[in-house]
Amino acid sequence: MFLPGFVPVCRRHGPGLKNKYLEYGYKMSNSPVSIVILAAGLGTRMKSDKAKVLHEIAGKSMLSYVLDAALTVTACEHVVVVVGCQAEAVRAEAAKKGGVRFAFQERQLGTGHAVQCALDALSEETGDVVILCGDVPFIAGDTICRLVAAHRQEARAVTLLSVALENPTGYGRVIRDPEGNVSRIIEEADASEQEREINVVNAGIYCVKKDFLAWALSRIEPHNAQNEIYLTDIIGVAYTNKRRIGTLVCPDADEVIGVNSRADLARAEERMAAGLRGKTS
């Protein structure tokens, strides 16, 4: 028998996962969650004419892996895939899963702008929004469930997934104030030498209250000559306005590593092959 207000959050695990969340102390509600998958970029570092999220690992597209993880979340009411470069090909790949909505980002004006496009497809929805990256293929459904649970347990405005890396080069660092509260995300190019020594980084995966998300994005100033809007800036907006911010640490760094180049893709293939060998040994 389970306590009122607790629900199984992962389709793949059902009631067994409910026990796990009771053990962790995470309380779930019946309120729905929408999941947004960012998949609009071409990925120039892949040196390919194919959209980045359509590159395959073990014969399956990166986008397909992310969709599979998203669709294990029982509380998920809607999945929105943001498309842009090679939109029709990406739509066709995502549509294989069924029941997916799409948002079109005509110009790639940053991750924040991509999420704004997705919110247009969720105009009637309320509750929380989980934001995933289509080029992070190893994200697990369990991790998404834990992120939502932790977010709701503390009634936060935003909860971000973080990870400690031995070599954090290239990743945005999670900055905390003197009291230990998350205050902002700073990209490596903008970080001081002291900030670059921080090894806890932003994984680029979030759970955010929808009303706060829309409000925060409307307050962000565009960056650079391209007028890009960075999703990471919602953390600073939340902190400045004294909204609750939290993090969930992902224990498996490989799970949240993005695939941005041919070398990354080769490493992902190796990781997948090693995982498959482990299952059959």
Checking if the pLDDT of 163 tops 80, the result is yes
CA distances from residue 34 to 77, 239, 253 in whole angstroms, order as listed: 6, 24, 25
Mean pLDDT of the chain: 87
Return the CATH number of the domain spanning residue range 15-280: 3.90.550.10
Tell me the mean pLDDT in the region 113-135.
Answer: 95
Q: Return the ∠ at Cα 247 (arms to 238 and 127), rounded to 5°.
A: 60
- Residue bearing tokens 């977010």: 151
pLDDT in tens, 13-41: 444 444 444 344 444 555 889 999 999 98
Q: Is 173 a catalytic residue?
A: no
Tell me the mean pLDDT in the region 221-230.
Answer: 87
pLDDT in tens, 233-245: 999 999 999 999 9
- Residue among 79, 37, 87 nearest 62 (CA): 37
Portion of the chain with pLDDT greater than 90, in percent: 71
Domain regions of the chain by residue span:
15-280
Which of 11, 12, 45, 243 is catalytic? The answer is 45
Cα separation, 114 vs 103, in Å, equals 8
Confidence (pTM) = 0.88
